[in-house]
């Protein structure tokens, strides 16, 4: 009697015997895989400024006449990232990007300082950025933008300020880094306005360049091939060319690199804004072909969403019907009413897409606060954040 196999065990064995082998082993493999996502050597953040879910949808419709045709929409990992500052529901670029770069939510207008900052009045605790962690560990770093290189989004990667408008003191922080030797590759726009603010702050592009032995060029073409830490601040910046040029330098790094690429996606002018997203996506596809996703993490997200909606239209007809008439006519407040597209020219509070592919990308899933993207990237590198009150 004591050798009798219990009926329940017999049933279990019988059930297992008829299951296909894959069905028996798959859960174990999945569990093991989930515990050990690949480590990233390199991370690139593609930041579509104001490029929320509706804008991505509309960009695909404009560029390809069909939804979900963008390259980033083919990426395997997707989450919805919540962007609000600590005290309001709707974010600006400063809080939005600071939260992603530092893992600490703050206040609108504040660049990578904690919520103890009072905008324009009092500094808060500096919050350590992903770029600073990368610099500290000897990686090469880069910041590239279609916008002013001192504007809130790029600034949140390399500077700390209680007021995003203080470009005259934000930009020079790139030359007096808290960690490592500071941003290695900087390509952005905003030359005239930054130049004016530098002079008002008692310095200039020339003075900064001489003091730190880093010339600040005004076009990409001026950079000598031998300069492996180039700074270009132009009146405009071709981010496609700039990003590929940056990769030529950053990909030489034995320890890896961290690169932030911002492309404006505000759709207050819907054709310009949506075309920007289509063009950004084409660049991303090209970068994706240049990197090895086994050791590189690519993240695409936005700092906040924007009030654009597709509320009509038919396949085969132009999405932006009525755009030319709107562009030529008198503007009426913050509302753009095209036949198929409604734009309320303001930031909005709903979550933005966070899309990821490559090493460590599988952590991007579900709803989460945008500060979680900081954790995703630190974990992809296998690094622990400093244990301080505000990092």
Q: For residue 358, which phi and psi values (nearest 5 degrees)?
A: 100, -160
Instruction: Report in angstroms how near the CB of residue 265 gets to Zn ion at its nearest.
Output: 9
Instruction: Report in angstroms how near the CB of residue 97 gets to Zn ion at its nearest.
Output: 7
Binding characters for Zn ion, 51-90, by CB under 5 A (x = yes): ----------------------------------------
The helix (run of H) or strand (run of E) holding residue 272 is: helix 270-290
Tell me whether residue 82 or residue 303 sits nearer to Zn ion (CB atom): 303
DSSP letter assigned to residue 255: T
Active-site residues, by number, are: 93
Q: Is the dihedral of CA 124, 127, 131, 134 positive or negative?
A: positive
DSSP letter assigned to residue 172: G
Stretch that binds Zn ion, among 48-56, 105-113, 187-195, 239-247 (CB under 5 A): 48-56
264 near Zn ion (CB under 5 A): no
Instruction: Report in angstroms how near the CB of residue 168 gets to Zn ion at its nearest.
Output: 21
Tell me whether residue 93 or residue 371 sits nearer to Zn ion (CB atom): 93
Tell me whether residue 113 or residue 301 sits nearer to Zn ion (CB atom): 301
CA atoms within 13 A on the CB side of 301: 40
49 near Zn ion (CB under 5 A): yes
N- to C-terminal Cα separation, the chain: 66
Closest CA to 145 of 84, 188, 92: 188
Tell me whether residue 83 or residue 113 sits nearer to Zn ion (CB atom): 83
Instruction: Report in angstroms how near the CB of residue 303 gets to Zn ion at its nearest.
Output: 4
Tell me whether residue 173 or residue 348 sits nearer to Zn ion (CB atom): 348
Instruction: Give one word for 125, left, alpha or beta, with left for phi > 0 and alpha for psi -120 to 50.
Output: beta
Greatest alpha-carbon span in the chain: 96
Six-digit token string for 89: 């529901």
262 near Zn ion (CB under 5 A): no
Residue nearest to Zn ion (CB): 93
Tell me whether residue 140 or residue 237 sits nearer to Zn ion (CB atom): 237
Contact between 340 and 299 under an 8 Å Cβ cutoff? The reply is: no
Find tokens 């990308």 and name the residue: 361
Binding characters for Zn ion, 7-46, by CB under 5 A (x = yes): ----------------------------------------
How many degrees, rounded to 5, is the angle at CA 48 between CA 377 and CA 86? 65
93 near Zn ion (CB under 5 A): yes
Please state, in angstroms and rounded to a whole number, the distance separating the CA atoms of residues 133 and 156: 13
Binding characters for Zn ion, 122-151, by CB under 5 A (x = yes): ------------------------------
Contact between 205 and 195 under an 8 Å Cβ cutoff? The reply is: yes
| Contacting Zn ion within 294-313 (CB under 5 A) | 303
184 near Zn ion (CB under 5 A): no
Binding positions for Zn ion, rule: CB under 5 A:
49, 93, 303
């Amino acid at each position: 009697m004591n050798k009798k196999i219990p009926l329940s065990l017999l049933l279990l064995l019988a059930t297992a015997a008829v299951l296909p082998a894959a069905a028996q082993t798959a859960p174990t493999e999945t569990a093991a895989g989930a515990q050990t996502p690949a480590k990233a050597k390199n991370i690139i953040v593609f930041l579509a400024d104001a490029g929320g879910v509706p804008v991505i949808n509309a960009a695909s419709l404009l560029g390809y006449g069909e939804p979900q045709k963008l390259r980033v929409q083919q990426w395997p990992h997707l989450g919805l990232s919540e962007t609000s500052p600590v005290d309001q529901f709707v974010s600006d670029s400063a809080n939005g990007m600071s939260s992603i770069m530092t893992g600490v939510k703050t206040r609108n207008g504040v660049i990578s300082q904690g919520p103890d900052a009072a905008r324009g009045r009092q500094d808060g605790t500096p919050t350590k950025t992903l770029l600073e962690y990368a610099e500290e560990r000897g990686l090469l770093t880069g910041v590239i933008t279609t916008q002013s290189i001192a504007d809130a989004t790029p600034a949140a990667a390399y500077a700390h300020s209680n007021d995003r408008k203080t470009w005259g003191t934000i930009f020079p922080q790139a030359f007096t880094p808290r960690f490592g030797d500071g941003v290695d590759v900087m390509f952005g726009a905003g030359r005239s306005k930054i130049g004016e603010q530098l002079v008002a702050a008692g310095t200039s592009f020339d003075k900064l360049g001489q003091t730190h032995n880093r010339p600040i060029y005004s076009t990409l073409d001026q950079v000598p091939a031998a300069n492996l830490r180039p700074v270009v601040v132009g009146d405009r910046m071709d981010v496609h060319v700039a990003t590929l040029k940056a990769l030529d330098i950053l990909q030489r790094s034995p320890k890896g690199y961290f690169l932030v690429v911002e492309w404006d996606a505000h759709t207050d002018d819907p054709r310009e804004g949506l075309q920007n997203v289509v063009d950004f996506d084409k660049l991303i596809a090209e970068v994706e072909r240049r990197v090895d996703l086994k050791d590189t993490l690519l993240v695409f997200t936005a700092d906040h969403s924007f009030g654009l909606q597709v509320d009509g239209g038919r396949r085969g007809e132009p999405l932006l019907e009525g755009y030319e008439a709107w562009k030529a006519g008198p503007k009426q407040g913050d509302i753009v009413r095209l036949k198929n597209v409604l734009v309320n020219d303001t930031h909005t509070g709903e979550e933005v897409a966070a899309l990821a592919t490559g090493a460590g990308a599988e952590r991007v899933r579900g709803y989460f606060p945008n500060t979680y993207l900081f954790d995703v990237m630190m974990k992809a590198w296998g690094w622990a954040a400093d244990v301080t009150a505000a990092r």
